[in-house]
Structure 1
Amino acid sequence: MKSKNHKYPKNNYKVISKKLFYFVLVLFSSNFAIAQGCSDAGICSVGHSFDTTEKTTKNIIEVATIFGKGEADVTYWSPFVSYTRKISDRFSLNTKVTFSSANGEFGTRATFGDAFLIGNYTFKEKNNKKWSAIFGWKFPFTSSNKKINGYSLPLDYQASLGTFDLFLGTNLKYKKWDFNAVLQIPVFSNNKNSYFKEFSGTSDFPSTNLFQRKSDALIRATYSIKTKNEKFTFKPNVLFIYHLGQDSYETIFGQRETISGSDGLTINGNLISAYNFNKKNSLELSFATPFVVRDIRPDGLTRSFVASLIYKIAF
């Protein structure tokens, strides 16, 4: 029962509601454009598990499932399990294991993808500004050459790119704003993909035989909006992902060939909505879609729409 003397800032809620409405409208208006969603290689989610304000707990477990729609009507279910341990007031470690199931005209292929080990060091807060450093590795479970009935599959059907990647980044929290900058650098490649479009009967996917991928750079800006009772949190954010070079593959003649148009900028819009059951349990729903894309995405990271559901337990 609401008290008659209690006053709510109606104008503020109206402004917030309008902003969220327009953001969601823009987000979903692009759902059916064939474009790159986020980098399955991992750069978009680095640092996400450290985003918690609860200081009385040292452990966080996340269980998630992600649905995505890609090129040539390929659909994806990509669950993951994540564990974050607060080692000290300044340092935390996060581990994550991914799984992916891709379904399309080639059939269905499901397998484990990558394991992540990410560290986060937080510096002392000054003038409402809190900086942190992010660093870590990604380890593939596959060499990106899974097959169906003996036939080679494009990277769109692979659960991993088969690369050992280094992450280096920083994060700045200022009042309700959150800014991220991250580099993802493939240090060693175990990619043994053997897909040639010439022998596949379709031109939907480019050749990626012995694929070699270039680095990514990400900049993200997030604004947090909380309801008065702090049960709901809304985080509209924009991600700028620049692929720092042209990828390449090995032709049937054994020559390495660059893939023109595989470098360049992707801009993604993302809306995260979280509900806190209490200080230790929360449920997070996220929707993402791209606004600007690269000319060609041979790495199989093409998504027109991504939705994720994450349950978090802190203890």
Structure 2
Amino acid sequence: MRLKVLTALAFICQMFLSHEQLTAQCSDAGVCSVGKNISHAESGEKEHRVGVVYVLGRSTSADDITYHSARVEGAIQISDYSQLSIVVPINAQTGPSGSASGIGDVIAVWNQTVLRREELTLQVQLGGKLATGNANGNANLPQAYQSGLGTNDVLFGATVESGGFDASVAAQIPFGRSSNALTRLKRGSDVLVRGGYSFVFDQLTVHPTLLFIQRLGESNIRNLGFPAGPEFVDVAESDQTQINLQIDGALRVSERYSVEAGIAFPFLKRNVNVDGLTRAFSLRAGAFVWF
């Protein structure tokens, strides 16, 4: 058993060492918060958790923006069937045009178990992404550099788990436009379909997931040529499709503590980064306390 744990850890480390080969990740506007998460692993007698997670990402070479995010992530088990998850990020973005930083958009998701059988669990999720981040942290920079997306969004979905397998379908609907002075971005809604499997090696859980995210409609931004043309125009090919293989690992250090790491492999390249969500690579690591 110990050999299996060491082998899995070595595999995860190798994923991190080879991150330069990546060209995308589950870089989304929040919809990936819906569905099974590696942190949702069985906790024994400990029901609640809080932790700190660091995420490093970089856009494609076209705009060459580096993204840093330090997140406080927590979950409160309200009852045997109800859980509330919250993510509070602090973001920093740097690139050739400048830099911006500040608190990001807070995400809160309520997870409700509606069916629980010996080999089958069905859950529904409802939540939102709040526009707590500043879309004008640096007023001279476009939306892609900002810490917040500038809109309040609704998140909802459903997840089914059976025998180690899990599958989810979810959607994110944004309302209004970003207040970013340069772009006034209006994003389309997102639809997510994901499926994964949990491999358990004693205290180590490895969870590979295949994700499909489709943007329903092109992004719409301020026309710099206005009033010679329309005030707002669509961004060609911004209704992009994401297909990623994401691999997460969680190691239970003790009854109260766990550490996590994550990485993803892309199948499709995204060329448009008007919303700041396109990544050339993305890595995730964090630590949690259970109580």
Contact 2:51 2:72 (8 Å CA) reproduced: yes
Contact 1:185 1:216 (8 Å CA) reproduced: yes
CA distance in 1, matches of 2:124, 2:96: 43
Which residue does 1:304 correspond to in 2?
280
> What's the % identity of the aligned pairs?
28
Give the letter aligned to residue 116 of structure 1: I
Q: Give the CA RMSD over aligned residues.
A: 2.5
The equivalent position to 1:242 in structure 2, one of 214, 229, 253, is: 214
CA distance in 1, matches of 2:220, 2:144: 16
User: Deviation of residue 145 (structure 1)?
Assistant: 2.1
User: Against the structure 1 CA distance between its residues 58 and 232, is the aligned structure 2 distance closer, same or farther, given a 3 Å change threshold?
Assistant: closer
User: Against the structure 1 CA distance between its residues 234 and 292, is the aligned structure 2 distance closer, same or farther, given a 3 Å change threshold?
Assistant: same
Give the letter aligned to residue 225 of structure 1: F
Give the letter aligned to residue 69 of structure 1: R
Give the letter aligned to residue 185 of structure 1: I
Give the letter aligned to residue 185 of structure 2: F
Which residue does 1:199 correspond to in 2?
none
CA distance in 2, matches of 1:242, 1:190: 20
The equivalent position to 1:164 in structure 2, one of 152, 155, 161, is: 152
Give the letter aligned to residue 59 of structure 1: H
Which residue does 1:87 correspond to in 2?
78
Which residue does 2:259 correspond to in 1?
283
Give the letter aligned to residue 302 of structure 1: T
The equivalent position to 1:266 in structure 2, one of 236, 242, 265, is: 242
User: Deviation of residue 156 (structure 1)?
Assistant: 2.1
The equivalent position to 2:197 in structure 1, one of 212, 223, 248, is: 223
Q: Specify which structure has the bigger relative contact order, considering alpha-carbon pairs within 8 angstroms and separated by 6 or more residues.
A: 2
User: Against the structure 1 CA distance between its residues 73 and 258, is the aligned structure 2 distance closer, same or farther, given a 3 Å change threshold?
Assistant: closer
Contact 1:58 1:87 (8 Å CA) reproduced: no
1:135 and 2:126 equivalent?
Answer: yes
The equivalent position to 2:45 in structure 1, one of 40, 53, 56, is: 56
Contact 2:103 2:134 (8 Å CA) reproduced: no
User: Deviation of residue 294 (structure 1)?
Assistant: 4.2
TM value normalised by structure 2: 0.87
CA distance in 2, matches of 1:299, 1:309: 24
Contact 2:102 2:134 (8 Å CA) reproduced: no
Give the letter aligned to residue 43 of structure 1: V
User: Deviation of residue 257 (structure 1)?
Assistant: 0.9
The equivalent position to 2:143 in structure 1, one of 155, 174, 182, is: 155
CA distance in 1, matches of 2:109, 2:211: 20
CA distance in 2, matches of 1:165, 1:303: 21
**Deviation string, structure 1 residues 21-50 (Cα, Å, up to 9, x no partner):** 9x959x85742x4xx432341112334376
Structure 1 unpaired stretches of 5+: 1-7, 196-208
Which residue does 2:181 correspond to in 1?
194
**Deviation string, structure 1 residues 83-129 (Cα, Å, up to 9, x no partner):** 21111111111122111111121233211111122100012322511
Contact 1:68 1:304 (8 Å CA) reproduced: yes
Which residue does 2:103 correspond to in 1?
112
> SS where residue 104 of structure 2 aligns?
strand
User: Deviation of residue 144 (structure 1)?
Assistant: 1.3
TM value normalised by structure 1: 0.80
User: Which contiguous aligned blocks of 4+ residues in structure 1 show a shift greater than 3 angstroms?
Assistant: 27-30
Which residue does 1:38 correspond to in 2?
26
Aligned length: 278
> SS where residue 292 of structure 1 aligns?
coil
CA distance in 2, matches of 1:97, 1:266: 24
1:214 and 2:192 equivalent?
Answer: no
1:233 and 2:199 equivalent?
Answer: no
Contact 1:61 1:84 (8 Å CA) reproduced: yes
CA distance in 1, matches of 2:285, 2:67: 14
